[in-house]
Structure 1
Amino acid sequence: MLDLSYAENQIHCVTNFMDLVSTPFKGVMNAMCWTRELKGDFAEIVQKVGLSGNITAVEEEELRELQLTEQGHFAREILLKDLKALKAHGASPVLNVISYYDRDDTFPFLPTDVYSYHVDRAPVPTDTFLCTYYGEPSEILPNSQGTQKILIPEIRIELEKLYDAAEGEFESFLTENFFDLHYQAKPEAHPISCGIGHLWKLAVDHPQSEVLPCLHRAPKEKSGESRLLLIC
């Protein structure tokens, strides 16, 4: 069961794929969730995929060739159906088995990896879709409960030390290095788990967007447990 008590009207739930892709974001609403209770053994998919590195992209051909139990078969059919639906919508979904993401320690005062609350940005209108089928789920942070890190005085001071270009271009420097995409949760913040099996649509920062982009992050994985994630 999803706990959306701290969502502040930011999250809208739907009951089918068509409503998910066709309902526009508006007002403060910048996240949409097709809530589902999925059947099948997704752990079996994770266990039988041939892993290559910390992130393994699972191609449809490999998925179809896996030798699975009945419950694993149910899980595979759901994955194939989700991939097909998103592709028909014009998206480019990727199914990944994730042991962990690479950490960014280039600037310890402002890491820019996906474990940091961040927003997605695109030059054209688009949305982010994601679903965790197995493992720790992604998290959403209500916009009012996050502070853009470049506005935090001690972080901004460190960024100014890095900046050595002509005066007046500091904001461009922040954008070009993606520093402006990252947020810090306020002390009283209540992150919202995306849960298992639910398909999400998140608002992206793009030139025609009429809503704020959605703050989200990857979770810290449990030791020895990979995630099965669809994202596009």
Structure 2
Amino acid sequence: MNNLPSLKNQIKSVTNFKELISTPFYNEINAMSWNRNLIGDFSEIINKVSVSENITELNTEQLLTLKLSKQGQLARNILINDLKLLKNYGTSPVLNIIKNYDKDDSYPYLPTDVYSFHVDRSPIATDTYLCTYFGEPSEIINNLEATQKILIPEIRTELKKLYDGSDNDFEAFLTEFFFDLHYQPKPDANIINLGNGNLWKLAIDHPESKVLPCIHRAPKEKKGEPRLLMIC
């Protein structure tokens, strides 16, 4: 993967789904957005579903069983169409109602849950797609405005206390337990809100990537306001 000298402009906007999937990441660009002003009541979808778990998955068949108002029907049509677009492209989109994710309290100095700024990794060439339809949107940060946590001396010292192997294998240990995927924003970092309704493509860490992976995180949910998120 190239170590790019600058990421002053990491986001590219596109105007349709075909452009989103066909435009490769390049230079400093590692996030692309199909900006949309969606019409419909997505909160009604959430309210009509019986939610008992922290994360509840919805599929097309379940969506079609819901009795909805006209605004709810508009929202449902968008969800079904987005699922179809992404499936036809060859991805496996998941539509979730999220009360909250599980938090990782195992290592207070380096939590590895999705609330921590992190990058995704894959052994094959692929991208992350996501859209927040309702609730707090996901967030990204410029790579130059974050520090890989395993490079922070205090955190690295704590991680070495967990490790009992040879010094030569310490980096492999950090990768095996995904510690190397997590980042800490710098004090003056600009955290970018991805907004509601926009369909995003984010670069991930894989062997064929020509750009830096996009650093992102799940937001803290508002109490009593679940998120409606599609991701793949």
Q: Give the TM interval when normalised to the shorter protein.
A: over 0.9
**Separation in structure 2 between the aligned mates of residue 70 and residue 96 of structure 1, nearest angstrom:** 22
Distance in 2, matches of 1:64 and 1:13, equals 32
Whether 2:42 is the aligned partner of 1:32: answer no
SS at match of 2:201: strand
Structure-1 residue corresponding to 2:130: 130
Runs of 5+ consecutive residues of structure 2 not aligned to the other structure: 1-6
Match of 1:220 in 2: 220
Specify the code of the residue in structure 1 equivalent to 2:89. Answer: H
Letter of the 1:128 partner, please give it: T
What stretches of structure 1 move > 2 A for 4+ residues in a row? none
**What pairs with 1:1-232 in structure 2 (closer than 5 Å)?**
8-232=8-232
Paired letter, 1:230: M
Q: Which moves more between the two structures, 16-25 or 52-61?
A: 52-61
Count of residues in correspondence between the two structures: 226
Shift in Å, 1:112:
0.2
C-alpha separation in 2, matches of 1:125 and 1:117: 21
Once residues 230 and 8 of structure 1 are traced to their aligned partners in structure 2, the CA distance between those partners, rounded to angstroms, is 28
How many angstroms apart in 1 are the aligned matches of 2:219 and 2:8? 22
TM-score (norm 1): 0.96
Cα shift readout 1:73-122 (whole Å, capped 9, x = no counterpart) = 00000000000000011000000000000000001000000000000000
SS in structure 1 at match of 2:72: helix
TM-superposed deviation, 1:49: 1.3
- Rounded Cα–Cα distance in structure 1 between residues aligned with 2:173 and 2:217: 23
Cα deviations across residues 191-230 of structure 1 (Å, max 9, x unaligned)?
0000000000000100110100000000000011000000
Map of 2:3 onto structure 1: none
Identity of aligned residues (%): 64
Give the TM-score normalised by the residue count of structure 2.
Answer: 0.96
Per-residue CA deviations over 1:20-68 (Å, capped at 9, x if unaligned) read 0000000110000000000000000011112131000012111111000
Question: How far apart, in 2, do the equivalents of 1:17 and 1:8 lie?
Answer: 25
- TM-superposed deviation, 1:165: 1.4
d(CA) in 2 for partners of 1:167, 1:69: 62
User: How far off its partner does 1:138 sit?
Assistant: 0.3
Task: Name the CA distance, whole Å, in 2 between partners of 1:102 and 1:13.
Answer: 32
Deviations 1:159-195 (A, max 9, x none): 0110101231000000000000000000000100000
The amino acid that maps onto 1:101 is Y
Q: Which amino acid aligns with 2:200?
A: W
Q: In the alignment, which residue of structure 2 is the partner of 1:4?
A: none
Deviations 1:125-171 (A, max 9, x none): 00000000000000000101000000000000000110101231000
**In structure 2, how many angstroms separate the alpha carbons of the residues matched to 1:58 and 1:165?**
44
